[in-house]
């Protein structure tokens, strides 16, 4: 992923339809070059949250995503 590319998180549910992300917000934290790249995520239509990265993210990067729902519940996931 290049700097200024959009970063997206999709919420998938089994058919018939995916869950809308209206009212959600999130944060992705990805270590890049010894520093943490923090990407604020906001609703981007349908089942998608999106944000913009400011540095190049290497392929197979590891990180953490935190989602905050409109009901103030928080979920967190680690990916590696």
Model confidence pLDDT, tens digit, residues 7-55: 655 555 555 566 788 899 999 999 998 999 999 999 988 888 889 888 8
| Exposed/middle/buried for residue 30 (C-beta within 10 Å: 0-12, 13-18, 19+) | buried
State residue 49's pLDDT score: 87
State residue 26's pLDDT score: 93
Q: How far apart are the first and last CA of the chain?
A: 16
Where in the chain are the domains? 6-79
pLDDT range class, residue 2, cuts 50, 70, 90: very low
């Amino acid at each position: 992923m290049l700097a200024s590319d959009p970063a997206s998180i999709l919420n998938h549910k089994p058919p018939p339809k995916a869950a809308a992300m209206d009212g959600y917000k999130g944060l992705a934290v990805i270590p890049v070059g010894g520093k943490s790249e923090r990407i604020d995520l906001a609703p981007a239509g349908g089942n998608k949250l999106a944000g913009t990265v400011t540095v190049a993210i290497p392929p197979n990067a590891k990180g953490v995503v935190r989602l905050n729902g409109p009901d103030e519940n928080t979920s967190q996931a680690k990916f590696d």
